[in-house]
Amino acid sequence: WVDTDRRKFRTDYAVTYTDEEATVEDSPSDDSFIGARASAAYAQKFGESGVYEHVTIVDENLKETKDLRVDMTNSVAVAMTARLALKVSLQFLYDNRPALEEIALFDTTGTQTGTVLNELDRLDTILKTSLVVKID
């Protein structure tokens, strides 16, 4: 959509095929499906040494539409010298149907009596910092 020296914006659309293997079985349904994917990427340079970037990816399971996943990342990179740069990014990973984990149950004597399934978080947040060194 936009492609200049200081600003870039693009979108992508695709059909996907996913074949998953769950670590904990949560349903008898098939773990392979066709999906629809849409993404958008934006980059903006600021000043002589900085870049802001934003990427959003949405992946929809067409077999079970409640199974929506979103990956959104925002980052800022700033060159501190000709050879040294700092980049900070914040990523959000959303899964409307997160995986399950199996938790052991124990009685009062410490003997395992069974297990229970626990749904993991729908939203994961990841903060990254990077120091980039250029070597010519």
- Cβ–Cβ contacts within 10 Å for residue 60, how many? 20
Q: What is this structure's pTM?
A: 0.75
Q: Which tens digit of pLDDT belongs to each residue from 70-87?
A: 999 999 999 888 888 899
What pLDDT shows up at residue 120?
81
Q: How many CB atoms sit inside 10 A of residue 28's CB?
A: 5
Q: Which of 34, 117, 46, 114 is nearest to 76 (CA)?
A: 46
Backbone angles phi, psi at 47, to 5 degrees: 60, -155
The residue written with tokens 């000709």 in the block is: 82
Residue 28 pLDDT class (50, 70, 90 cuts):
very low
On the CB side of 64, CA atoms within 13 Å amount to 13
